[in-house]
Structure 1
Amino acid sequence: MAFTVKQIAAAIGAEAVGDTSLIITGASEPAQAGPDQLALAMSPKYAEGLADGAAQAAMLWPGADWQALGLKAAILPERPRFAMAGMTRVLDTGQGFAPGVHPSAVVDPTAQIGKDVSIGPLAIISAGATIGARSVIGPHCFVGLDAQIGEDALLREQVSIGARVTIGDRFVAQPGARIGGDGFSFVTAEPSAVETARKTLGDQGEGKAQQWIRIHSLGSVTIGDDVEVGMGATIDCGTIRNTMIGNNTKLDNQVHMGHNVVIGENSLICGQVGIAGSAVIGDNVVLGGQCGVSDNIFVGDGVIAGGGTKLMSNVPAGRTMLGYPATQMDKQVESYKALRRLPRVLRDIKALQKAVFKTGEDD
């Protein structure tokens, strides 16, 4: 796959200068770039590496002096990092999935398969399932009973979609994603020690043995358009109603969504985030890596939680949170600063105590 500098610039709506007929076959960091690769030197800091590579063309920053950097051509986007989205889309060679059904795939006769769908080796499409046009069902994937997947979906290898899951258009699931398993929901015949602990916050003693009885998941999962789910992510079915993900929300690797969770639109859920059952996450929310969200709380629109934050109670819209338990980020940072100063403060107090007691002895 090869493009001219001019073609790449046109695809991302950016200005191209110099010899825009140069052929580009890929992208590279500046110091490792070859003569047919587009060097990504999107700030003066990264441009320093151009001298160590052999790039003839580079993606730079607005107003960059590309000729002084020894280049024959350059692309000058207004927002370089955003331009990377378009540039990588143009240069992405994909995974090599071709339309058609592999001979080893198992497709139930009642399944509805759209035009130009690719179904890979050892994939299974269950009865009543619907696969939208131009979608890719990769090797070893499973699509359950009556599941619906929209158009232009990409299920990488070993993705599992449970029964009655409904997914919109342009869905992407990375290898090993699991969507539509039963929720982790159990109950005891009498109030459990856990229920009592939540009320009293006190010790429960050894107590008596209680058998946990499974609550079956009658709901499924509903996912909107343009949603992406990372490797090893797991999404539980709802107990009665469906677990839900809104349009354009992105889940990173190893994210877990418990039963009945609702996530709104345009939210970003980073790696290893755990969201407990029946939590409601608003639109435009960002949860940093390893955040935890307690069950049955809501997180308002536009909330940002830094990495490792544990949200244990409702969070109003627009808050920026950090820490365990979570507080507003500016307050949490002040607490961290105070904690770091504590040894020095204790030393000062000790010195003052010695001075006061010594003065008293002299008197």
Structure 2
Amino acid sequence: MTHTVAEIAETLGLEAVGDTSIVVEGVAEPADCPPDRLAMAMKPEYAEGLSQGQARAAMLWDGADWQAMGLDAAILAPRPRYALSALSAAMDPGQGYPSGIHPMAYVDPSATLGPGVSVGPFAVIGANVEIGAGSVVGPQVHVGWDTRIGPDALLHAGVKIGARVSIGARFIGHHGAVIGSDGFSFVTPEPSGVEKARASLGDQGEAKGQPWARIHSLGGVTIGDDVEVGVNTAIDRGTVRDTRIGNGTKIDNLVQVGHNTVVGEHTLLCGQVGIAGSVSIGSFVVLAGQVGVSDNVRIGDNVICGGATVVLSSIPAGRVMLGYPAMKMESHIEGYKNLRRLPRLIRQVEELRKAVSKAGESR
């Protein structure tokens, strides 16, 4: 694919300056950029690498002195990283999945595939499945009984979708994602040590081993439009009601979403987030990497939890949290600063103790 600088700028709705007829075949980092690529020099520190490469044109920030950088052309963006979203979509060559239904795929006769759906080798599409127009089902994908998937979905190789799952339009499932697995729900004949410890905040009483009885997952999973689920992520089905993921939510790799959990719209769940069962998460929430959320917790809209935060209780809307257990970020940072001051404080106390002791001896 080739594009002129002018064509790229017009597609992005941005200003192009200099020789906008320059043709580029893709993008590159500034220091490694050949003449036929657009350099992604989106910050002044990135632009320092232009002198090491051969770029003739670059994506720059608004007001950048592109001529002083030795460029022949530039695209100026008020928010370059946001512009990169549309630019990367225009430059993406895709995954190369072929069209049509591969002869080594199995599609149940009762399944309904919309126009333009492609199905890769060794994929299995179960009974009463509906897949919307223009969707891509990659190799070794499994779509379970009575599942509905909206138009323009992209299921990469190895995605597994269980029975009775409902997914909206423009869904992206990355390699190995599992949606609609059974929830991790087990119960003992009598109150378990875990239940006793939770009620008493630490004492499980007389230890008594008991077998675990399985609670079957009768609910499904409902996912809205424009949702993306990362590599090897698991979203469990509900026990009675569905686990729900709202429109526009993006879920990273290696994330666990427990049964009955409800996630709002346009929320980000980053890598290795673990969410227990029956959690309610609002819209526009960000859970950074390795955040853990205990069961039956409520997290309000626009909450941000920093990396490795452990959420043990509900969080009101708009809070920024950090630490284990989760607390307001400013409180956590202040506590950490005080912790680092402890060795110095101990030395000062020891010096004062010695000074007081000597003063007492001199009397």
TM range (shorter): over 0.9
Instruction: Please say if 1:71 is aligned against 2:71.
Output: yes
Task: Name the structure 2 match of 1:111.
Answer: 111
RMSD: 0.8
- Distance in 2 between the 1:292 and 1:157 partners? 28
Task: Name the structure 1 match of 2:218.
Answer: 218
Q: Which moved more, 1:12-21 or 1:236-245?
A: 12-21
Instruction: Please say if 1:88 is aligned against 2:88.
Output: yes
Task: Name the structure 1 match of 2:301.
Answer: 301
Task: Name the structure 1 match of 2:39.
Answer: 39
Provide structure 1 residue ranges, at least 5 long, that are not aligned to the other structure: none
- Distance in 1 between the 2:201 and 2:166 partners? 40
For the residue of structure 1 that corresponds to 2:75, the secondary structure is: strand
- Distance in 1 between the 2:44 and 2:15 partners? 18
Task: Name the structure 2 match of 1:189.
Answer: 189
Instruction: Please say if 1:281 is aligned against 2:261.
Output: no
Instruction: Please say if 1:5 is aligned against 2:34.
Output: no
- Distance in 2 between the 1:157 and 1:51 partners? 41
Q: Deviations over 1:225-281 (max 9, x none)?
A: 000000010000000000000000000000100000000001001000000000000
Task: Name the structure 1 match of 2:180.
Answer: 180
Contact preservation (8 Å) 2:196, 2:205: no
Alignment of structure 1 residues 310-349 onto 2, 5 Å: 310-349=310-349
- Distance in 2 between the 1:323 and 1:204 partners? 26
Where do 4+ consecutive residues of structure 1 move more than 3 Å?
none
- Distance in 1 between the 2:355 and 2:76 partners? 66
- Distance in 2 between the 1:70 and 1:340 partners? 48
Task: Name the structure 2 match of 1:359.
Answer: 359
Contact preservation (8 Å) 2:230, 2:254: yes
Instruction: Please say if 1:161 is aligned against 2:181.
Output: no
- Offset of 1:208 from its aligned partner? 2.2
Task: Name the structure 2 match of 1:133.
Answer: 133
Provide structure 2 residue ranges, at least 5 long, that are not aligned to the other structure: none
- Offset of 1:19 from its aligned partner? 1.2
For the residue of structure 2 that corresponds to 1:166, the secondary structure is: strand
- Distance in 2 between the 1:247 and 1:113 partners? 23
Q: TM-score, normalised by structure 1?
A: 0.99
Aligned residues: 363
Overall identity of the aligned pairs, in %:
60
For the residue of structure 1 that corresponds to 2:69, the secondary structure is: coil
- Distance in 2 between the 1:356 and 1:73 partners? 74
Instruction: Please say if 1:23 is aligned against 2:19.
Output: no
- Distance in 2 between the 1:23 and 1:155 partners? 33
Q: Which moved more, 1:235-244 or 1:184-193?
A: 184-193
Q: TM-score, normalised by structure 2?
A: 0.99
- Offset of 1:346 from its aligned partner? 0.5
- Offset of 1:331 from its aligned partner? 0.5
Contact preservation (8 Å) 2:55, 2:71: yes
- Offset of 1:201 from its aligned partner? 1.8
Task: Name the structure 2 match of 1:144.
Answer: 144
- Distance in 1 between the 2:353 and 2:11 partners? 71
- Offset of 1:206 from its aligned partner? 6.0
Task: Name the structure 2 match of 1:250.
Answer: 250
Q: Which moved more, 1:253-262 or 1:199-208?
A: 199-208
Q: What is the identity, as a one-letter code, of the residue corresponding to 1:212?
A: W
Contact preservation (8 Å) 2:196, 2:203: no
Q: Deviations over 1:17-44 (max 9, x none)?
A: 1111111111111000011000010111
- Distance in 1 between the 2:64 and 2:15 partners? 12
